[in-house]
Amino acid sequence: MSKPESILHPVAIPQVMINFAASYGVDQDTCLQGTGITEAELYDSEALVTRNQEMRLIENLMLALPDVSALGFKLGMQYNIATFGIWGFALRTSRTLRDAATVAMKYLPLSTAYCKVSPFETDEYYGICMDPDSIPPHLRQFLFERDMATGLNLMNELSLAGVSVTGLELQGEPLPYAEELEKLCGFKPKYHSTRNAMWINLKDVDRPLPTFDANLVRMLDDQCKAQLERRQTAGLSGQVRQQILGPLGLVATLDDIADALALSPRSLRRKLEQENTNFRAIVEEERKQIALQLLRGSDMKLEELAIHLGYTDTASFTRAFRRWMNCSPGEYRKTNRKAKQ
């Protein structure tokens, strides 16, 4: 199966985010800043965006709405079967929820899922686990919430015959907005669990779905295969971003990345140049985005922030930040906090 990070997404995905942001007074230009997505592409139903473009839009959304609780969950509630095109319709025409889950797993890169998703079964329940550990840390909670809410929406939409998600378990302590999350879910999640999961009663997983269409099942399966091929992208810059935002971190060197991608450093440089970028530019761009987010949304000390971003000292980080924003990190934090008050 293709890796999720190498799959292009339909422009409908960012459209949902932009419409959601607009409901909070955030304009389209703010959402698209630095994404490379043009207005023409946004309204082209055939347009596709990379996962990195989507992640940049998410970062912009988080920066614009730092005080909205359960932001990722609220966004996830906006996604439905129709949002996902062929993948969504393939789920809808499946014979049962079990079959729909099988199709979902088979073509998961066609969804918005960033979590590692896997089904499980007990004597009483059939469920879906969501593991967010592979998501870059600064986006992890937001994307986990979005994936979980999207999953709840899809499960409930598929179960038009009266079946619905009956339980949700989450790792860790209740979040500060636990009561709000409970209202959004429609039931109280179970905390301190060993996994993040949602489930339905086992007796309902093989109940025929009212939208089952035997004539469409095979055709939509073939179309999902074709979509995977069409959306496959070999963009090396995207693979580099995934490495520095994931397992290797922002302290990784070009040699580290080349080794992880089974390339020579020289080949990595050349291939990035062919994509009109370079390793330093990619690292700088990611450092800037994460710095802006943490300065606005956290109380992390500048010394800690500098280390988190891969700088050897605070002075180096401050010089870089002045180059990006024409002000110091402290001035930026003070100005933006005043603006929020």
d(Cα 196, Cα 291) in Å, to the nearest integer?
29
CB 138 within 8 A of CB 118: no
pLDDT value of position 52: 81
Phi, psi of 205 (to 5 degrees): -70, -25
pLDDT value of position 237: 81
Four-point Cα dihedral 180, 184, 190, 193, nearest 10: -90
d(Cα 138, Cα 297) in Å, to the nearest integer?
11
CATH code given to domain 236-340? 1.10.10.60
Evaluated on CA atoms 312, 313, 319, 320, the torsion sign reads positive
CB 44 within 8 A of CB 154: no
d(Cα 206, Cα 269) in Å, to the nearest integer?
52
CB 10 within 8 A of CB 85: yes
The helix (H) or strand (E) run that includes residue 125 is strand 125-131
pLDDT value of position 1: 41
Strands (E), 43-101: 48-49
Encoding tokens for residue 218? 């095979």
Encoding tokens for residue 148? 């979980």
119 bridge partner residues: 128
The residue ranges of the chain whose pLDDT is under 70 are 1-7, 160-163, 230, 232-235, 247, 337-341
pTM across the whole model: 0.73
Does 4-230 match 236-340 in CATH topology? no
The CATH label, of 3.90.1520, 3.30.70, 3.40.50, 1.10.10, for the domain at 4-230 is 3.90.1520
d(Cα 199, Cα 185) in Å, to the nearest integer?
13
pLDDT value of position 161: 56
Write out pLDDT tens, residues 12-66: 889 999 999 999 999 999 999 988 888 888 888 778 888 888 989 999 999 999 9
121 bridge partner residues: 126
Rg, C-alpha atoms of the chain: 21
The helix (H) or strand (E) run that includes residue 201 is strand 197-201
The number of helix segments (H) and strand segments (E) in the chain equals: 17, 6
Domain residue extents for the chain? 4-230, 236-340
